[in-house]
Structures are given as C-alpha cells and as structure tokens.
C-alpha cells in the first residue's frame, strides 16, 4: 500500500492523487480544488465526494481482519460447533450471511476442484498438465486404473528421444514414365466408353455456351471443326490395328525385366520381403506380466526336459496311491460278491440283495468324488495331515437313465412304502485279516507324502492318508458295483486251467501217435513249410 503523505488523509479512487485534509465534511481532491478543476464538469466532483463520504466509515484494522479470517476458518472446519459459536458471538445478520456465503463458496470450490482447475487452465497448457489438473485427488489408496497403468509403464518404458526412429517418408518415384502399353483388344473395348465421355463433355460445353453471356471467350464455345478433325485423326491412329513394338530378343527382354524390377524397387516393394528361414517367436517373451527370469528358467526346463525332484516324487506318490486303491477295491468287490452269492437264492434275488445293500450304503455313507491335485498348505491348520477333500457327485448314469435329478430320486427311494433297508454290508473278519496289510500300506503312503511335502512348495503340498476315510471311500465306491459283479460272475463262461501238453500222457504204442486229441494243436514256426520230413522228425522225436 502507498504511504500516506503528510497533510493528506488518503488517495482519491478516481484520479489516484492525495486528498487534502480539511474541516469540511467532504474534502475534495487536490486536482479538483484548483480553479481549473472547478471549471470542469461537476460529475467528477460528485464521484470524488462519494469516495470521500466512504472514508468517513471506520476502516477495518488488522485485528478485525484477523478475527474475520478466524471466524471463516471456524465455520469451514468446525461444522455445527463453529456455526453455533458464530451465532452466539452476536454478529449481525448481514455479516452472518456474508460469512455463510463465503463458506458455501469455499466448499463448492473444494468439491469441484478439478472442474475449476480445468476452467482456469490457460490455453497454452500441455496435455500432461491438463490431465494432472483434472485427476482425482490422492485419497491414500491407488485405484485399479492407476495401478495397471503404472505396471504397464514400468514394464514398457518409452525409448529415449535419441533412440526413437525418425519418420521416413514413403519413396516417390520421380522418373518420367511413359504411358502403359495397351493391346489392341483393350483399346477396342474402351473405345466406346471414351467416345461417350468426349461426346458428353462436348454436350456439356454446348450447354454451358448456351447459358453463358455474350462476349465470352472462344474456349467457352467448345471445339471448332478443325479441332474435332484433329481429335478424330488421333483416335483413328490410336485404334488402328496392329501391336506396338515389343522386344524380340533376349537382351531386350532382359532390359525390360530389369526396368520393371527397378520400378518395383523404387516403389519399395522389395523392402519388407522376409529373408532366410522364418523365426518362431514366443508370445510370452514380451508379456509384461511374466518376469524375465521366470520365463528364461521355464524355457530352459522345457528345452532340456528337466523335471524338478518334487514333481517326480509327486508322480510316484500318485501312482502308489492309485495302485493301493485299485487293488483294495478289486479284493473287496470280489469278497462281497462271493459272500452274497454264498447265501443262496436265484440270480435276481442275489442282485436285489446287493442293490438293497447299495441303497443302505448310499443313505449311511453317501458316495463322494475325490478332488485330485488339491494343494493344502502345511501352516493352514494345526495338523497338516489332511485327507483329500471330497465333494458330492451326481450319479450321471442314473440321472441320464431316468431323466430326473439325484435329489428327486433319493426322495422317491425314501418314500417307497414297505421298504426297509438293511444295515450297510460290513465284514469285521475280513477287516481283521487285512488290517496288517492296510496299516502298512497307509504308513508307506504317509511316509512318501511326508517326503514329498518336505520338497514341494507350500501351495503344492498334499494331505496325508487316513485308514478310516479310505475304508469309507472304499465302501461307498464299491457298493453300487456289487450287483453287476454278481451278474458277471454268474453269466461268465467257465475257463479250465490247463497247461498246453501238461495233461498229455506218453504214448504206450506206435499207433497211439496217430490218434487225434480232443483239442487241436496248432504249431507255428518261422521256418519253411511243414512237410513230410518235419513230420517224420517230430514223430520219432516223441518216441
């Protein structure tokens, strides 16, 4: 602010000159106090007088301005408490309304800061400055859009300006070209079209001449008789029969070929021709979401056919588990089929008895599906020994045969009147007999699983095996197959076990060698055809 001069109270707002102090209520400006200023218009005096009248009002001091700023800050940050404090302070209504308007204006600008930043942006600002000004304010968490953009920018960093390729304009052939050679048939085929084109042009020129004002140039009136005759002679010469001169020697053909090759090179047709053997490119090599080290290690493992030790151990474990379960199911199915068949009855009665056992097993121990290759982290529970997670399975065969869902079939089976299901089939004696083998097999599988879990990563570790759960899975899987096993055993043809030649007895006499056995014997050999000599050697060899 300009300093106040001695003898002057303040500056005039119109002429920006110091106003002299005086006893009058409305002191006049120095410029207008002179005689020259008094002779001017009275309008300027009124303005200065109005300004001097405003000076009579008390000017807000530094303390008042500071209190006003504190009040505005309390309204903006204090919320209801700040408003209540302003109301209790005893401000007049005009000052309260002014403060509230300022607070609302500040809040509105704070809510739409990006819009105000874009509106106040100068036209000379760049695209980056505009995007930063219109971006959302930082809230402490990175959005998904910004995270993906940052990852892509880090993976694919832009080249330096010195390494970027410069714009190469396409090559332009500046050589003078002659008109393409057109054969006689082509000229005849296009002659009518060209004639119509020129006739139409002449008609258009005649129409333009008719509508043109008088005094026009000769060009506006179309072609005269001499020009038409010259045009006809040119057409007559152009469409004359006979072909143009063509090279009829090897040198001429070579020159023509070289000329066409040079024209193609000038047009850039030989620029992008691939040379040599094609390169096989892997799309994962430039994938920004795959680490370079991981990609190189995977390529080395695939190229050299290397298998990590824990993968080999996993294959051995899965193979041993499948062998154990397959053998256990075959033995239990054969034992159940023999036990049910030994109780007597017809084949249908035996099969119906097996189906009742299967229904009882389905009620007490429903059949489940194993989920292979389930990875269980060792730190997920207190006991890392976990069995395979099992999920309910829908009997596809039964559902496809009846066309009804499995839940509806179970409800119908449970609602059958007068049907009492027996207890599930169990044989404690067979379990005691096989207990040693089963316990030893489970311990062996758990030992292999423990060795595998020590080598495998946490996400690939496998659960251990439990004998009760394996037996429950065995009973649930085998029960529906017992009826089919009983039918197969009853309808299967019997096979006699006899070794070829084991039941033959030595011939007691010479004539018994010529007798035929009940079972024919076919002898195969890779030597020459069987003849009298071979028969004689075989006959005396037996004797």
If asked whether residues 80 and 229 sit together in one domain, one would say: no
Q: Give the number of domains in the chain.
A: 4
Asked which of 92-101, 190-199, 207-216, 328-337 is least confident by mean pLDDT, the reply is 207-216
Contact 349, 410 (CB under 8 A): no
pLDDT at 120: 79
User: Tens digits of per-residue pLDDT, 442-471?
Assistant: 999 999 999 999 998 888 899 999 999 999
The H-or-E segment that residue 130 falls in is: helix 127-134
More confident residue, 280 or 338: 338
Over residues 63-77, the mean pLDDT reads 67
Contact 8, 16 (CB under 8 A): no
Positive or negative: CA dihedral 39, 40, 42, 44: negative
The answer to whether position 498 is within a domain reads no
CA–chain centroid gap for 477, Å, is 40
Is residue 383 left, alpha or beta, with left meaning phi > 0 and alpha meaning psi from -120 to 50?
beta
The answer to whether position 287 is within a domain reads no
If asked whether residues 337 and 447 sit together in one domain, one would say: yes
The answer to whether position 272 is within a domain reads no
pLDDT at 171: 87
Over residues 421-437, the mean pLDDT reads 91
If asked whether residues 225 and 368 sit together in one domain, one would say: no
**SS3 for 217?**
coil
If asked whether residues 438 and 365 sit together in one domain, one would say: yes
If asked whether residues 479 and 433 sit together in one domain, one would say: yes
The whole-angstrom separation of Cα 76 and Cα 107 is 8
Binned at pLDDT 50, 70 and 90, residue 89 comes out as low
Binned at pLDDT 50, 70 and 90, residue 17 comes out as low
DSSP 29: B
The H-or-E segment that residue 129 falls in is: helix 127-134
Q: How far is CA 527 from CA 480, 500, 524, in A?
A: 53, 22, 9
Over residues 411-427, the mean pLDDT reads 68
More confident residue, 309 or 99: 309
Contact 222, 206 (CB under 8 A): yes
**SS3 for 390?**
strand
If asked whether residues 229 and 190 sit together in one domain, one would say: yes
pLDDT at 130: 77
| Residues of the domain holding 95 | 62-119
List phi, psi (to 5°) of 360. -65, -40
Please report, rounded to a whole number, the percentage of residues in the chain having pLDDT higher than 70: 60
CA–chain centroid gap for 411, Å, is 44
**SS3 for 319?**
helix
User: Tens digits of per-residue pLDDT, 230-243?
Assistant: 888 887 777 766 54
The whole-angstrom separation of Cα 394 and Cα 402 is 13
pLDDT at 366: 87
One-character DSSP codes across 44-80? HHHHHHHHHHHHTSPPP-HHHHHHHHHHHHHHHHHTH
**SS3 for 398?**
helix
**SS3 for 392?**
strand
**SS3 for 352?**
helix
Asked which of 37-51, 65-79, 301-315 is least confident by mean pLDDT, the reply is 37-51
Which residue, of 448, 464, 491, is where some domain finishes?
Answer: 491
The answer to whether position 127 is within a domain reads no
The whole-angstrom separation of Cα 395 and Cα 410 is 11
The answer to whether position 464 is within a domain reads yes
Over residues 418-426, the mean pLDDT reads 81
Q: What is the 3-state secondary structure (H, E, C) of 269-302?
A: CCCCCCCCCCCCCCCCCCCCCCCHHHHHHHHHHH
**SS3 for 8?**
strand
Largest CA distance in the chain: 176
Binned at pLDDT 50, 70 and 90, residue 80 comes out as low
CA–chain centroid gap for 179, Å, is 55
pLDDT at 32: 43
Contact 360, 419 (CB under 8 A): no
Which residue, of 491, 507, 536, is where some domain finishes?
Answer: 491
Over residues 472-480, the mean pLDDT reads 92
The answer to whether position 233 is within a domain reads yes
Binned at pLDDT 50, 70 and 90, residue 394 comes out as very low
Q: Which of 439, 459, 454, 455 is nearest to 380 (CA)?
A: 459
Residues 6 or more apart from 129 whose CB is under 8 A from it?
A: 121
The answer to whether position 144 is within a domain reads no
Asked if the model's pLDDT at residue 141 lies above 80, the reply is yes
If asked whether residues 14 and 74 sit together in one domain, one would say: no
If asked whether residues 50 and 66 sit together in one domain, one would say: no
Mean pLDDT of the chain: 72
The answer to whether position 531 is within a domain reads no
Contact 378, 453 (CB under 8 A): yes
Is residue 242 left, alpha or beta, with left meaning phi > 0 and alpha meaning psi from -120 to 50?
left
If asked whether residues 371 and 442 sit together in one domain, one would say: yes
- For the full predicted model, state whether its pTM sits above 0.95: no
Strand partners for 29: 19
pLDDT at 314: 92
If asked whether residues 113 and 261 sit together in one domain, one would say: no
Interior/surface letters 460-496, b for 16+ CB within 10 angstroms, e for the rest: bbbbbbeeeebbbbbbbbbbbbbbebbbeeeeeeeee
If asked whether residues 49 and 83 sit together in one domain, one would say: no
If asked whether residues 36 and 83 sit together in one domain, one would say: no
**SS3 for 10?**
strand
């Amino acid at each position: 602010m300009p300093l106040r001069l001695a003898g002057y109270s303040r500056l005039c707002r119109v002429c920006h000159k110091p106003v002299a102090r005086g006893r009058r209520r409305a002191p006049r400006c120095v410029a207008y106090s002179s005689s020259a200023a008094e002779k001017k218009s009275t309008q300027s005096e009124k303005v200065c007088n109005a300004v001097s009248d405003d000076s009579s009002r008390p000017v807000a001091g530094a303390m008042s301005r500071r209190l006003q700023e504190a009040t505005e800050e309390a309204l903006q940050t204090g919320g209801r408490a700040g408003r209540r404090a302003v109301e209790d302070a005893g401000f007049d209504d005009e000052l309260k309304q002014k403060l509230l308007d300022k607070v609302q204006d500040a809040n509105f600008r704070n809510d739409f800061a990006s819009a105000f930043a874009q509106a106040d942006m100068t036209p000379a600002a760049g695209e980056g400055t505009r995007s930063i000004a219109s971006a959302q304010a930082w809230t402490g968490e990175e959005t998904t859009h910004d995270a993906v953009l940052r990852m892509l920018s880090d993976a694919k960093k832009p080249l330096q300006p010195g390494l970027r390729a410069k714009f190469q304009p396409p090559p332009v052939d500046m050589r003078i070209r002659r008109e393409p050679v057109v054969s006689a048939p082509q000229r005849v085929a296009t002659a009518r079209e060209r004639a119509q084109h020129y006739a139409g042009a002449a008609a258009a020129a005649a129409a333009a001449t008719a509508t043109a004002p008088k005094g026009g140039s000769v060009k506006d009136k179309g072609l005269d008789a001499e020009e038409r005759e010259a045009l006809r002679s040119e057409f007559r010469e152009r469409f004359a029969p006979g072909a143009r001169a063509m090279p009829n020697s090897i040198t001429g053909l070579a020159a023509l070929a070289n000329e066409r090759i040079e024209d193609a090179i000038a047009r850039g047709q030989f620029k992008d021709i691939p040379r040599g053997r094609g390169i096989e490119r892997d799309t994962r090599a430039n994938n920004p979401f795959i680490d370079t080290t991981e990609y190189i290690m995977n390529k080395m493992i695939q190229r050299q056919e290397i298998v990590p030790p824990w993968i080999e151990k996993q294959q051995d474990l899965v193979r041993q588990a499948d062998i154990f379960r397959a053998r256990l199911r075959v033995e239990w199915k054969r034992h159940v089929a023999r036990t049910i068949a030994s109780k007597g009855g017809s084949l249908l009665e035996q099969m119906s008895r097996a189906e009742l056992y299967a229904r009882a097993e389905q009620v007490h121990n429903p059949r489940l599906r194993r989920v292979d290759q389930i990875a269980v982290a060792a730190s997920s529970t207190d006991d890392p020994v976990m069995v395979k997670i099992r999920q309910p399975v829908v009997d596809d065969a039964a559902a496809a045969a009846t066309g009804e869902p499995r839940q509806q079939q179970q409800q119908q089976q449970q609602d059958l009147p007068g049907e009492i299901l027996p207890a599930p089939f169990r044989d404690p004696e067979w379990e005691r007999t096989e207990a040693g083998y089963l316990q030893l097999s489970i311990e062996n599988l758990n030992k292999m699983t423990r060795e595998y879990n020590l080598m495998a990563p946490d996400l690939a570790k496998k659960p251990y095996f439990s004998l009760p759960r394996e037996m429950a899975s065995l009973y649930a899987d085998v029960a529906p197959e017992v009826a089919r096993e009983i039918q197969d055993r009853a309808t299967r043809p019997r096979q006699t076990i006899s070794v070829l030649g084991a039941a033959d007895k030595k011939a007691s006499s010479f004539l018994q060698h010529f007798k035929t056995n009940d079972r024919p014997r076919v002898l195969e050999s890779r030597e020459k055809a069987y003849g009298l000599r071979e028969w004689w050697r075989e006959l005396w060899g037996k004797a």
